[in-house]
Amino acid sequence: MPTAGDQAGRGDHRGLLITFEGPEGSGKTTLIKAIAAHLAAKGEDPLILREPGGTEIGERIRNILLDTASEGMSAETELLLMVASRAQLVREKIEVALEAGMIILCDRFADASVAYQGFGRGLGEKQVQELNRFALGDVEPDLTFLCLLPPREGQKRLNRDTSDRLDRESVEFHQRVYEGYQAMAVSGILRFKVIDATETPIEMLDRALGHLKKLDHGLLKYL
Cα dihedral 194, 112, 119, 123 sign = negative
Closest CA to 66 of 166, 144, 133: 166
> 12 vs 193, which has greater pLDDT?
193
Tens digit of each residue's pLDDT (9 = 90 or more) over 2-47: 433 343 334 447 899 999 999 988 999 999 999 999 999 999 999 9
Assess contact for 24 and 155: CB atoms under 8 A. Answer: yes
pLDDT value of residue 161: 57
H helix runs in the chain, sequence order: 4-8, 28-41, 56-66, 75-89, 95-99, 110-113, 125-136, 151-157, 171-185, 201-214
Domains and CATH numbers, the chain: 4-220 (3.40.50.300)
Tens digit of each residue's pLDDT (9 = 90 or more) over 109-167: 999 999 999 999 999 999 999 999 999 999 999 999 999 999 888 777 776 555 788 88
Closest CA to 101 of 215, 5, 219: 219
pLDDT value of residue 154: 75
The per-type count for the chain, helices as H runs and strands as E runs, is 10, 5
CA 78 – CA 90 distance, rounded (Å): 18
Assess contact for 64 and 81: CB atoms under 8 A. Answer: yes
Assess contact for 61 and 17: CB atoms under 8 A. Answer: no
Assess contact for 86 and 136: CB atoms under 8 A. Answer: yes
Tens digit of each residue's pLDDT (9 = 90 or more) over 59-96: 999 999 999 999 999 999 999 999 999 999 999 999 99
Provide the percentage of residues in the chain whose pLDDT is more than 70: 92
> Per-residue confidence at 219, pLDDT binned at 50, 70, 90?
confident
